[in-house]
């Protein structure tokens, strides 16, 4: 845990809601995520966690309320604009191009930060993309940071599941995010892999990044998080420090009790 209540608010949801026809998937959610902290979003299946992620990074439009990032109203911004602003995301199942190598995968993420972008960088003097070397150097640096530099030329299809998880995180880091959304990043990992990725996440937060994670592994959540928000039926049931949330009777009844059994 990084434990910081003094860092600035990076992300703020204000009375955010999402409806699908007559179904209210998310209702009146207000929460803040601070820089350099690890913030967990938990709850039973169907509580609205992934929907909330999809609202934050623009995959779904907000029905009601507002979302602020660094004090700027980003409600309705498209995914690519949010990525350029500093919001990156991984998914429940790693979404990788199997025929691409590890280094190529991370370079794709780095290109979003390039001044010309992946197409514009192709037009350059001397027959070489002006930014390609910088992108390559950045990708190599990120792979070293996450411990995949020994697999740079390996195709994504040949990686173990744990390495695929780490590769997706590395690709997300290529956009140089200020906020990293991790959707069940520890799911399917063995204990050694879980501890490894936990160490990476702690380091990201220590370096100033805000981490918002959805996770079902309650031990992982309680060990990692500075703050926990609990959703139930699309609404916030509880919020606070991990120990306070874990001892909340309403949370135990709705969620944690079933985990402990």
Q: Which helix (H) or strand (E) holds 201?
A: helix 191-206
Could you give phi then psi for residue 128, rounded to 5 degrees? -125, 140
Report CA 157 to chain centroid distance, whole Å: 22
Q: Which helix (H) or strand (E) holds 144?
A: helix 132-146
**The pLDDT of residue 92:** 85
Q: In whole angstroms, what is the distance from residue 101 CA to residue 99 CA?
A: 7
Q: In whole angstroms, what is the distance from residue 73 CA to residue 31 CA?
A: 15
* 33 neighbors 179 (Cβ within 8 angstroms): yes
Q: In whole angstroms, what is the distance from residue 251 CA to residue 247 CA?
A: 8
Residue 162's SS3 state is helix
**The pLDDT of residue 117:** 45
**Cβ partners under 8 Å of residue 204, min gap 6:** 173, 180, 211
Q: Which helix (H) or strand (E) holds 205?
A: helix 191-206
**The pLDDT of residue 211:** 99
Q: In whole angstroms, what is the distance from residue 105 CA to residue 174 CA?
A: 10
**The pLDDT of residue 132:** 80
Q: In whole angstroms, what is the distance from residue 116 CA to residue 238 CA?
A: 44
Residue 245's SS3 state is helix
**Which of 175, 248, 171, 225 is CA-nearest to residue 33?**
225
pLDDT per residue, tens digit, the chain (261 aa), is 554 566 799 999 999 999 999 899 999 999 999 999 999 999 988 899 999 999 999 999 999 999 999 999 999 999 999 999 999 999 888 889 999 999 999 998 887 655 444 444 333 433 356 678 888 999 999 999 999 999 999 999 999 999 999 999 999 999 999 999 999 999 999 999 999 999 999 999 999 999 999 998 888 999 999 999 999 999 999 999 999 999 999 998 887 655 544
Locate 248 and state its tokens. Answer: 């909340």
> What would the DSSP string read from start to end of 42-103?
E-STTSSHHHHHHHHTTSS--SEEEEEETTEE-TT--HHHHHHHTEEE--SS----TTSBHH
**The pLDDT of residue 164:** 95
Domains and CATH numbers, the chain: 1-86+177-261 (3.40.50.300), 95-176 (3.40.50.300)
């Amino acid at each position: 845990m990084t434990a910081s209540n003094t860092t600035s608010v990076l992300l703020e949801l204000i009375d955010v809601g999402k409806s699908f026809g007559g179904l209210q998937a998310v209702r009146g959610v207000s929460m803040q995520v601070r820089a350099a902290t690890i913030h967990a979003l938990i709850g039973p299946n169907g509580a609205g966690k992934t929907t909330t992620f999809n609202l934050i990074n623009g995959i779904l439009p907000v029905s009601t309320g507002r979302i602020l990032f660094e004090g700027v109203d980003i409600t309705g911004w498209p995914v690519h604009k949010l990525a350029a602003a500093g919001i990156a995301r991984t998914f429940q199942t790693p979404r990788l191009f199997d025929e691409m190598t590890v280094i190529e995968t991370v370079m794709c993420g780095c290109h979003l930060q390039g001044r010309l972008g992946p197409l514009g960088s192709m037009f350059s003097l001397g027959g070489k993309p002006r930014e390609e070397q910088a992108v390559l150097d950045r990708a190599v640096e990120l792979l070293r940071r996450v411990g995949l530099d020994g697999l740079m030329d390996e195709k994504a299809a040949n990686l173990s599941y744990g390495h695929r998880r780490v590769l997706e995180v590395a690709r997300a880091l290529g956009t140089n995010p200020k906020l990293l959304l991790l959707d069940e990043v520890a799911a399917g990992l063995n204990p050694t892999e879980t501890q490894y990725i936990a160490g990476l996440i702690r380091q990201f937060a220590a370096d100033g990044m805000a981490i918002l994670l959805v996770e079902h592994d309650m031990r992982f959540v309680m060990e990692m998080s500075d703050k926990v928000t609990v959703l139930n039926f699309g609404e916030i049931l509880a919020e606070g420090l991990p120990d306070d949330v874990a001892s909340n009777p309403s949370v135990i009844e709705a969620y944690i009790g079933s985990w402990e059994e």
